[in-house]
Amino acid sequence: MNASSSSSRQIVWPSVITVISAAILIGAEVFGAAFAGGWALAILFGLGDQGAHILQAVLFALGVLVMTAFIRGAQRIEPFTKRR
């Protein structure tokens, strides 16, 4: 890749800030729900503290997948770069 093709892109800051702001909001909800849901399910099924931690870890991993899909989808809608 030559220098002229890499310098022909410009960061679209409003799009980047919009996606990051939405990711922070959605991430707080997703990961909060993962921890609360793991705790609640462990109590419901009588799994104890270790079961709660395992469920929280599983739900946290699912949350990471959800956030990754969100960021990728948002980046298609709101591109982070544009050609000059």
Question: What pLDDT does 3 receive?
Answer: 53
Per domain, the residue ranges of the chain are 3-83
Tens digit of pLDDT at every position of the chain (84 positions): 555 555 688 999 999 999 999 999 999 999 999 999 999 999 999 999 999 999 999 999 999 999 999 999 998 988 889 887
pTM: predicted TM-score of the whole model, two decimal places: 0.76
DSSP string of 3-43, one letter each residue: HHHHTTEEE-HHHHHHHHHHHHHHHHHHHHHHHHHHHHHHH
Q: Give the containing element (helix H, strand E) for 64.
A: helix 48-77
Question: What pLDDT does 20 receive?
Answer: 93
CB count within 10 Å of CB 42 equals: 19
Please report how many Cα atoms fall inside a 13 Å half-sphere around the Cα of residue 67, on the Cβ side.
Answer: 20
Question: What pLDDT does 39 receive?
Answer: 95
